């Protein structure tokens, strides 16, 4: 059993939790994920590690309610327990294996969309701890959906905000803001994009015009986190890979995003049906209780 040491709502239906998991915290690296199961009957939910603290023995996860399983996770409170918290899984960010002095000479840009801010944060934090500077663009539909701005500002060299409705920062898409920065004289050797699949697709189309290496995280495709179910299959450079065991990060210019989005939509529909079924079952139970 793994105790929830802290819970905080970052935005509507988005919660942050610090979970006591010392072994996972000791081994975790940026880019990896954990498998969470609320109880022995719960589904396996893969969640990217947002942060980890070896001294406190905690791992931070951020969950957005999109279906039945994620709703059950967010319903837990501080002091309650998660049955299973397995990890770290997946391959760490490739930055972890690079020469630090060479990294310091690279101009790096991270582009985070919505909940993608959570997995971007540990990468930028790790780089900052090594003395490597990185710029960050964080995008959201509106101001009230922006998360972790203060945390990101503390580790990023420059933080840029973009909102679709202009309620904070740049009024427009993250790709438009990126092109504006390039037009102003900014240049980058590598871009890391994490967020909605459609956002990552258009980031890659944009960076391709400038010949900038682009890494994307396909963590949102994962289901069981072991490669056994095959749900996370993705085509990269004409070859098939399993996101949970061979990723979650890949060369964005080689990813077949249209295929990935079709697969993602299929499993979102299934999860939404499960959530609706659970809500109807709960409503029916309450009605029966009210009759007695």
Segments making up each domain of the chain, as ranges: 2-89, 94-216, 218-292
Q: What is the pLDDT of residues 86-125, one digit of tens each?
A: 889 888 998 999 999 999 999 999 999 998 999 999 999 9
- Asked whether the domain spanning 94-216 has the same topology as the one spanning 2-89, the reply is no
According to DSSP, residue 255 is labeled: B
The CATH code of domain 94-216 reads 3.40.50.80
List of E strands, the chain = 2-11, 14-20, 33-37, 45-53, 58-64, 81-82, 84-89, 108-113, 134-140, 158-163, 170-171, 190-194, 213-217, 233-236, 239-242, 249-251
Instruction: Give the largest Cα separation in the chain, rounded.
Output: 71
Q: Do 92 and 31 form a contact (C-beta atoms < 8 A)?
A: yes
Neighbouring residues of 74: CB distance < 8 A, sequence distance ≥ 6: 13, 15, 63, 65
Percent of the chain with pLDDT over 90: 61
Q: What is the pLDDT of residues 242-265, one digit of tens each?
A: 877 777 888 999 998 888 888 777
Mean pLDDT of the chain: 87
* pLDDT computed for residue 290 by the predictor: 53
Q: Do 122 and 93 form a contact (C-beta atoms < 8 A)?
A: no
* pLDDT computed for residue 77 by the predictor: 94
- What are the tokens at 196? 């909605």
* pLDDT computed for residue 226 by the predictor: 60
pTM: 0.84
- What are the tokens at 203? 């980031």
**Domain 2-89, what architecture?**
Beta Barrel (2.40)
Would you call 185 exposed, middle or buried from its count of C-beta atoms within 10 A (0-12, 13-18, 19+)? exposed
User: Chain-centre distance of CA 2, in angstroms?
Assistant: 21
CA atoms within 13 A on the CB side of 18: 11
């Amino acid at each position: 059993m793994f105790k929830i040491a802290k819970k905080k709502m970052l935005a509507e239906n988005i919660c942050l939790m610090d979970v006591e998991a010392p072994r996972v915290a000791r081994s975790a690296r940026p880019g990896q994920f954990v498998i969470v199961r609320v109880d022995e009957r719960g589904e396996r939910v893969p969640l990217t590690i947002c942060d980890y603290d070896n001294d406190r023995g905690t791992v931070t996860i951020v969950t957005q309610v999109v279906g039945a399983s994620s709703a059950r996770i967010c319903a837990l409170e501080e002091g309650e327990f998660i049955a299973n918290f397995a990890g770290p899984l997946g391959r760490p960010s490739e930055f972890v294996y690079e020469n630090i002095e060479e990294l310091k000479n690279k101009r790096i840009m991270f582009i985070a969309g919505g909940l993608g801010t959570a997995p971007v944060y540990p990468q930028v934090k790790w780089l900052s701890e090594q003395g490597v500077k990185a710029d960050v663009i964080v995008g959201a539909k509106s101001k009230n959906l922006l998360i972790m701005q203060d945390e990101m500002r503390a580790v990023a060299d420059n933080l840029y905000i973009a909102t679709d409705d202009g309620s904070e920062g740049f009024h427009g898409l993250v790709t438009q803001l990126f092109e504006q920065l390039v037009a102003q004289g900014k240049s980058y050797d590598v871009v890391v994009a994490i967020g909605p699949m459609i956002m990552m697709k258009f980031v890659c189309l944009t960076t391709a015009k400038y010949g900038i290496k682009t890494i994307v995280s396909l963590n949102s495709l994962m289901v069981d986190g072991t490669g056994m179910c095959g749900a996370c299959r993705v085509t990269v450079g004409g070859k098939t890979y399993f996101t949970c065991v061979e990723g979650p990060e890949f060369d964005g210019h080689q990813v077949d995003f249209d295929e990935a989005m079709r697969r993602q939509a299929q499993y979102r529909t299934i999860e939404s049906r499960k959530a609706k079924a659970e809500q109807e079952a709960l409503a029916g139970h309450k009605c029966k209780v009210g009759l007695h």
